Amino acid sequence: MRASGASDVALDADAVRRWIDVCLRDLRALRADIDDINVFPVADSDTGSNLLHTMIAARDGLDGLTADAAGSAGAALTAVADAAVRSAKGNSGVILSQVLRGMASSALGAPELGGAALANALKAADVAATRAVARPVAGTMLSVLHATSAALDGHAASGGGAFACSAAEVAELAAKTAAEALANTPNQLAALAVAGVVDAGGRGLVVVLDALVEALTGVRTTVPVCAASHAHAGDDRPSRAWEVMYLLTVSGPATAADGLPELRRVLSALGDSVTVAEAGDGEYAIHVHCADIGAVLEAGLAHGRPHGVRVEPLLTPKPVDHPVTAADRAVVAVVHGEALARLVEAEGIPVLAIGAGGEPSTEDLLTLVTTTAATHVTVVPGGVRLTAAAERVTGHPMLEGRDVVVVPCASPVQVLAALAVHDPERRAGADVVAMAEAAAATRRGEVVVAAEDAITWVGRAAAGDVVGLIDGEVVLIEPGGAEGSLERAATGVLDRMLAVGGELVTVLAGEEAPGTITDVLAGHLRAERPDVELVCYPGGQTDAVLLMGVE
């Protein structure tokens, strides 16, 4: 493939300057349009302005180049990146600064970048930007960037691993792929689909990559901005949240390596849109949307010296004062395990999958709720600990203006029961009540293998015994290792649950469940309770061989 008008010219220092200048020209021209489609993570109409501000700082960085370094593309990229990181504004500006930083790190002072080197630089940009964001979200600037990286990888693989394209051809492939990925962002992020727009940060990234094509080929490419189909709220909305940005100098590499994961965790508990981006040796650029400015600064103080602090107000939605319509509502789920998550997703429910035994972070939950773009969100969590975690964030300041309700569930089978009765056309309050009643009415059974010796209400269980539970209480124990013990435990629990009635049995098979167990249960019900319907799914859970629900 060859770009129209492309030559074998590489990205040298002069091309870097042309690239930044074209970026500035086009970001100035499109700033208002990009601002207007800014709806995620906060509809504060500033993405285009933040990208322009960051790129102006990047251009100023070129003024500080020494005469010896002025002819090196690597040195020019490093100067651009360093200046951008230190002055980056907003979430999109921080990500753009990391794009530049990733490219600079890959270039390593090279005099010029040919096709292979430019491809590697763009792939390094993807890695650097993604690493800086505490929780990447599909349908954003990062998705557009990742698509370009994947396309470059795929192109290299199709040629046996060798990248024979010129720098211009690499830039054109990246820009073309980014434009296609941008068009797909409303299919990935509900907030964009509801507003009828593409991602604003992704649109800015397409501008940057189109500018790279023009700098190398002289050919100008543009992609129309997807105009907003909604009106942004005016300045009468109260500011109840803040965008906090600062540079953090840490005392040494050991402190940075040990402390920054903890800093990410603390900042994620205080707000969302958290980025912790490298800004040089021992220095990091911090960005977070929060309600408590002081707590964010104190978190930085615990790990180093914050400086260059900038704080700007964010606009939060007004509380809903009209009947909630189907378009204003969303139901989301939080479950353990990918298999169960896929089962829930198949019903069209956004879901957050957590590893076995883990708990979601505050930012995980905030992101799950806010990406729906709904003003009334019902959260259906698949366990006691997940329910507690979800309830802790319902009053979070970042969710002010949204009505967030948790349907308490003690087991994944109760999640499935609740979702089965969900009706988006029903009034929001009535729908929540129906789901809560369905979950509460579902009796839950478990078949587990004892990990250690224990005393129970029905006797002593040794490690390796098969234990049956109903609603959290042990009801039977089968000797471990005995032939048929698992089948006897499963049918025994099922019989006890059905003794008080039931029409539907739902079974989730764990990772350690034998493939024949569901056939055993089906045969048992045909013989003993032919009036009862049985449905079985792969649950993928590791803490129970079987989970059963009876409705």
What CA–CA distance (Å, rounded) separates 157 from 151? 10
Q: Looking at residue 228, what is its pLDDT?
A: 47
Q: Between 155 and 449, where is the model more confident? A: 449
pLDDT confidence tier of residue 333, bands split at 50, 70 and 90: very high
Mean pLDDT of all residues in 107-132:
89
Q: Where residue 103 falls among pLDDT bands split at 50, 70, 90?
A: very high
Are 132 and 94 in contact by the 8 Å Cβ rule? The answer is yes
Q: Is the pLDDT of residue 175 over 70?
A: yes
Q: Are 433 and 424 in contact (CB under 8 A)?
A: no
Tens digits of residue pLDDT in 349-366: 889 888 877 888 887 888
DSSP one-letter code for 398 = G
In this structure, the number of other CB atoms found within 10 A of the CB of residue 237 comes to 16
State the chain's mean pLDDT as an integer. Answer: 83
Q: Is 131 exposed, middle or buried (0-12, 13-18, 19+ CB in 10 A)?
A: middle
Average pLDDT over residues 20-45: 84
Average pLDDT, integer, range 302-317: 78
Give mean pLDDT, residues 416-433. Answer: 88
Would you state the CATH architecture of domain 327-441? Answer: 3-Layer(aba) Sandwich (3.40)
Mean pLDDT of 312-333: 62
User: For residue 41, is the peptide bond before it cis, meaning its omega torsion is within 30 degrees of 0?
Assistant: yes
Predicted pLDDT of residue 70:
62
User: So what's the architecture of 241-315 in CATH?
Assistant: 2-Layer Sandwich (3.30)
Q: How far apart are CA 287 and CA 300, in angstroms?
A: 11
408 contacts 387 by C-beta, under 8 angstroms? yes
Using one digit for the tens of pLDDT, what is the confidence trace for 253-278?
A: 544 445 578 888 888 778 777 888 88
| Reported confidence tier of residue 318, pLDDT bands at 50, 70, 90 | very low
Would you say residue 443 has pLDDT above 50? yes
- CATH number of the domain at 13-217, out of 1.10.3720.10, 3.10.20.90, 3.40.50.2000, 1.25.40.340? 1.25.40.340
Query: What digits encode the pLDDT tens for the residues 529-546?
Result: 999 999 999 888 888 899
Instruction: Provide the percentage of residues in the chain whose pLDDT is more than 90.
Output: 27
Residue found by looking up tokens 């990733």 in the block: 102
**pLDDT band at residue 230 using 50, 70 and 90 as cut-offs:** very low
pLDDT tens sequence across 507-518: 999 888 888 898
Task: Read off the pTM.
Answer: 0.62
Q: Parse the chain into domains and list their residue ranges.
A: 13-217, 241-315, 327-441, 443-550
Task: Name the residue with higher pLDDT: 453 or 68.
Answer: 453
Does the pLDDT of residue 342 top 60, yes or no?
yes
In this predicted structure, what is the pLDDT of residue 542?
85
CATH 1.25.40, domain 443-550, yes or no: no
